[in-house]
Structure 1
Amino acid sequence: MRILSIQSAVAYGHVGNSAAVFPLQRLGVDVMPVYTVCFSNHTGYGAWRGPLLSGDDVREVVMGIEERGGLAGVDAVLSGYQGSDSIGDAILDAVARVKQHSPDAIYACDPVLGNAKSGCHVAPEVQNLIRDRVVPAADLITPNQFELGFITGTTPDTLESTLASVDAARALGPSTVLVTSVERPEAPEGTIEMLAVTPEGAWIVQTPHLPLKANGSGDVTAALFTAHLRSTGSAADALASTAASVFELLERTLASGERELQLVAAQESYVAPRARFAVERVR
């Protein structure tokens, strides 16, 4: 399997491509990382160093890959945080180029906008970019519950309303939606869920809710789900494997007492997670 992953990169810690690439490689995926920023650390620290890359920079790298024949045999294009119209245009251009060479490739987009606790934390131009241009071009999106509501102008807060919001998102273009960080009043206390919906049905998985906020966990989730979905063709299997791996990664991170994901220490959890969580079909 080959994935073109266009995301940010940091030297210290694990977000963007610095979170997604290694787990994919441990699964045996041939990853071609293209960077949108090269920062010292993620911006949650309040201070960082390093350059932003322009959309033209991203295009140049992708064109170089194309000239080597590297866009043939691509299974997926993966993207995360998009900081500007320029980067968004370059990613959409990359998707079009990949699909010319690899017609069966999918575009998997993590539409990073914010979360329920802090709200939307991207510029208005990026909000419009994600909602109006990027999501309609995607085959798979992996929003959290807040982002799903923002994209669709709905308020998903129960299973029924979340499924309705997913239907609204799928009507925009993507055939498959993975909703992360699902919280609903009817779920047992101390749990959190993920919901996967495809044209074939809808499945939900529930895990314990660990008391930590880990930057980069969404990037790992999107990457693993994309890879498992492409390799198995089963949303239920992809959901089960992703939930188990991400839970073990977060569990190890919590036990370490460190702020950054213990991405390398948890490497066996990507290929052979011990945890098993039941996946329930809900539609």
Structure 2
Amino acid sequence: VMSYRTELSEKLLKSALQYARLTGEAGRMSRTDLTTQLEPLVGTRGVTFLADHVIYPKDRTKDLGQLADSLARQHAAYEHLTYRPVVSAVNEEDGVVFSAIYYVLRNRGAVLDATEPTGRISKGFLIDKMTFDKSTGRLLSSLVARQMTLEERDSLLQDPTAWQPAVVDEGELVAVPHVVAGPNDYKYMGEVISKWVAMWSSGAPLDDLPKVVASNCREHDGYGLHNKPNGITWQGLDQGRAIIAAAHKTYDIRNELVSHAVSYDHKLGFEHWRADAVNRGDQTQTPLEGIGLICFNQHLQV
């Protein structure tokens, strides 16, 4: 399987994993050591951290020193007990690496509305879409979709009790039906991701949904904002079809696949999509964007 990766793909994956390692270990490093190891990874104009509009409302660009200081503040606020990439995938053409990272954090500094440390432990996943300069392998931007810590939940949500994020065990991600056999599988999984994203656009042929989506498919809400039990927004092909049909009835939607990548080691893929949704009633326009992790079954259905 490894032989299907090119030298550039390996370079980008190595950079992404090194960046994740430094993010997790920054609190145990001196500032000099941290900046020395970050320097080969950071773009000459810094790294732009893109807004997810849930936890991070605005884009922020940080140079090497600012990035090191930011990581130091993160570790002062939270002891990183675990910070581990579980699955990573590269899209060489786009210069993009996606990583799903499992974390366990213990609060040890006052953050947001808190006046003192809580000592509470937060566990969850984040997905980081990292875009690199393909010629240098340096990081240009990062878009993170991350489950909230308990302190963020208490400060950012109007009703902290109306919050049920998805709980996905690491084993569910790595215990795939079969290891991917070859490059044709990668290509086909990319096509399935593209078809899945296209299904959300108005006018999409929903009769084709069973070709793309497994009968037992379910969608997990990483942020927990839908407040559904276990973070499952819908389950089963019929529910999925009904949710998409309802969206089409209410909105004129144009959904675009911005980027995607497929894991070389598992039947897993990542998606980054953007959409314009125009309400068919009052014609108000709502821009939407998201990144997600897609699990395939042995038939390469979502």
TM-score (norm 1): 0.28
Higher normalized helix content (fraction of residues):
1
Higher normalized strand content (fraction of residues):
2
